[in-house]
Structure 1
Amino acid sequence: MKLLKPFSAFLFLLIGSFSIAQTNDLGAWYMYFGNNKISNKFNFHNEIQYRSFDGTGDLEQLLIRTGIGYDLTENNNNVLLGYGFILSQPYRNGEKTENIEHRIFQQFITKQKFGRFNLQHRYRLEERFLEDDFRMRFRYYIGLNIPLNNKEMSPKTLYLSAYNEFFLHLNSSVFDRNRVYGALGFVINKNMKIEAGYMNQIQENKNRGQIQIGFYNNIPFTGN
C-alpha cells in the first residue's frame, strides 16, 4: 500500500485540475487497452477511449479499436491488422456536430531495453473512411518506461512513462499533429498496470492539454 500513496496523490492532483478544465481548455481522456495472447504467436488487441472536452460528460470522441497481431520474434516485433470505430462530436461555430469514421490500420511494434530504459517504437498506417471523404495517414510513436523503485517493470513497481507521436497526412498537407505525454504509472501485477498523466497536442498551430488516465490489461486468453 505504501507504493500506491505517491501514485494516489498524483492521481488526486490530476482529478482536482478538472475544476479549471473549461477555463483552461483542458480535456480528459479515459482509456482502456487490452493486449491479450490467444496463442504463442498471436494476440488480440482491444481498446476503448472516452475523450471529453471538459473532463466529465461533454463527449469529444469515443474511439473503439480492435485487431489481431502476430509476433515475428518471441514477445517482440509485432505486426497487427486492425479496425477502429470513431464517433466524434466537435463544436463548429458554437454548435455541437457529430461525425462517424471507420478506420482500417496496419502497424508494426518493436521493443528495446537499455538498462532500466524500456523503449517501444510503433509505426502505423491508417486508411480513414469518413462520412464524405477518404484519407490516409502515417503515425510514428516512440514511448519510454523507466521503473523507479525496482530495476524491472515487475509487480508493485512505480514507473515514469513518456511518449512522443507525430501524424503525417499522405494525401493532403503533410503535417497533421504531434502529441507529447508524461505520466506516473503503477504495475499492479504481471498483466495489469495503470497510468495517470498529461498530454499536450499540437494541431493546426494550436496547443491543447489533456489529462489522461489509462488502464492496461495483458491477461492471456491461452490459460498460461
Structure 2
Amino acid sequence: MNKKIGFLCLLFCCFKLQAQSTAEDKLGTWYMYNGTHKLSKNVKLKTSAHFRYYELATEYQQEIYRVGINYTFNPKINVTAGGVYSITDTSYKSDAPVLYEYRFYQDLNIKDNWGKIKVKHRVRLAQRFKRKNLINTVAHRIRYGLFLNYPISKNLETYAFSELFIKFASKAYSQNRTGVGLLKKISKNLKLKLGYFYTKFSNSGLHRLQLGVLINTDFTKKTI
C-alpha cells in the first residue's frame, strides 16, 4: 500500500506541474534509452539515446546520442570514455537558432553500499564543440553526481540523485539536477524507469519527467 501511495503522489506532483503556463513551470519530458552491453570480463559498451521535450509530448527541445567504452578495474571502480552528438532547439514557442554539438567525455565511477542503499559517485569531464548561428565555440565542463538506489521488492527499487555541473569559465556554476523515481525490473535484461527531476540554473529552473528503458546484454555468454 505504501508503495502505491508513493507512486500516485509522484504522478500527482508531475501532472500538477504540467498545468503551469510558463516554460520554466511546464513539465517537460525525457524519453530515454540506455544500454549496457558486456563485451568481455572487464569491458562494456555503453549506449544511449534521449529525446527531450519542453512539454509532456510537444515542443521539441533536444535529441542526444551517446556511446562509450567502459572498463572495470574492480567491483568498486570503473571508468568510461566516449562521444556525444546532440541537436538542441534553444527556443520555446519562438524562433531561435538550433545548437549542434559534438562532445567527448570521460567518467570515473566509484561504487559503495550504505547498508541496503547502493551508492555511486560519478565524476564526468566533458569537452564540448558547439555550433550555433554559424559560430563555433569550445567549452569544458565537469560534473559530480551522487546516485542512490534502494530496493523496495525483488523487482522494484527507488532511486534519488543530485548532480552538480561546473563550467571552466568566469561564471563557474552551470546547473544542478536533483531527482527521484522508480525502477521496475521486467527481466534480467530489461528495466523500466519512471522519475522526476528539477534542474536549477543560475536564474531559472526546469521540471522534467523521465520515462526510460534500460537494456543490459552479455555477449560473453555462449548460446547453443
TM-score (norm 2): 0.86
Whole-angstrom CA distance in 2 between matches of 1:54 and 1:92: 10
Structure 2 gaps, min length 5: none
Paired-residue identity, %: 27
Matches within 5 A, 1:114-125: 114-125=114-125
Q: Is the 8 Å Cα contact of residues 7 and 185 (structure 1) preserved in structure 2?
A: no
Q: Which residue of 1 aligns with 2:200?
A: 202
| Bigger Cα displacement from structure 2, 181-190 vs 78-87 | 181-190
TM-score (norm 1): 0.86
Q: 1:85 to 1:10 in 2, by over 3 A?
A: farther
2:183 pairs with 1:185: yes
Q: Which residue of 2 aligns with 1:216?
A: 214
Matches within 5 A, 1:1-224: 20=19, 24-74=25-75, 76-91=76-91, 94-131=94-131, 132-149=136-153, 156-223=154-221
| Bigger Cα displacement from structure 2, 178-187 vs 19-28 | 19-28
Whole-angstrom CA distance in 2 between matches of 1:86 and 1:201: 19
Q: Please provide the CA RMSD for this pair.
A: 2.5
Whole-angstrom CA distance in 2 between matches of 1:181 and 1:9: 16
The offset of 1:170, in angstroms, is 1.4
Which secondary structure does the structure 2 equivalent of 1:144 belong to?
strand
The offset of 1:148, in angstroms, is 1.1
The offset of 1:116, in angstroms, is 1.2
* 1:113-157, Cα deviation, whole Å (9 max, x unpaired): 2321000111100000011210000000110010112xxxxxx52
Q: Runs (4+) of structure 1 moved beyond 3 Å?
A: 4-19, 21-24
Structure 1 gaps, min length 5: 150-155
The offset of 1:68, in angstroms, is 0.6
Paired amino acid for 2:156: L
